[in-house]
Structure formats: C-alpha cells, structure tokens
Amino acid sequence: MATLLKYQAADGMWRQLIDDPDSWKETSCTGMFTCAFITGVKEGWLDKAIYAPAARKAWLSLIKYINSDGDITDVCEGTNKKDSRQYYLDRKRNTGDLHGQAPLLWCATAFLR
C-alpha cells in the first residue's frame, strides 16, 4: 500500500501505468485502490493518519469522472499483456464500463460500512 501511495497523483488519481507520470489517469484502478485504502483504514490494517486523507482525496477526484448519465469515464479497456509502453498508453478509454462502475460502487459501499 505504501508503494501505491507513492504513485498517487497530486489530485488523488492513479494512472494507467502506475509509475509513469506521462500516462493518463485511469478510474478503475483508482476505484480499486481507493476501496482498498478505505477498507484497510476501517479494519485497522492501515494507518488512518496516512491512508484516510489519501482515500478521501482519491474519492473526491474520482467522482469528478462521473458523467451526467451516471457513468464513470476513463476506464481502460480490457488489457492483454505486451512488451510495449505505447501499447498501454494507447488503450481505449471507455465510459460506463463495468470494470470502472463496480470499483466506484465498492468505494461508496466501503465508506458507508
């Protein structure tokens, strides 16, 4: 979790290529990591002073990617593996893809627990 925290962007998001600051910000990984931070804090596994602010910042950034139809934007299409940085940078950004919708709902549920 400390390594993930290290790569969190200033606005709270994580990127398509986590350790590449030139990579685009991606919502499904941000949702999954945020849910993990929330759960870790609530279960006492993660230091609340460090991870709760990071989770809040991520959530407040993530919800800005919800469009007027209630769909989350900038969800990476399903990704195979390839030995090419450009392959990952060029992945399609989907809107409303369930791979992004679900992590957003997981976060909301984790906050409400």
Q: Cβ(88)–Cβ(17) under 8 Å?
A: yes
SS3 helix, strand, coil % of the chain, rounded to 5? 50, 10, 40
pLDDT single digits (tens) 68-86? 999 999 999 887 788 888 8
pLDDT in the model for residue 80: 77
Q: Which residues pair with 26 in a beta bridge?
A: 14
The string over 31-40, giving b where at least 16 C-beta atoms fall within 10 Å of a residue's C-beta and e elsewhere, is: bbbbbbbbbb
Range of the structural domain that residue 91 is part of: 2-112
User: How many domains are contained in the chain?
Assistant: 1
3-state SS assignment for residue 73: coil
Let me know how long the chain is: 113
Is the model's pTM score more than 0.85? yes
Mean pLDDT of 90-113: 90
Distances (CA, A) of 36 to 2, 57, 86: 12, 14, 28
Q: Cβ(107)–Cβ(34) under 8 Å?
A: yes
Q: Cβ(61)–Cβ(13) under 8 Å?
A: yes
Q: Is the pLDDT of residue 91 over 90?
A: no
Query: How does DSSP classify residue 72?
Result: B
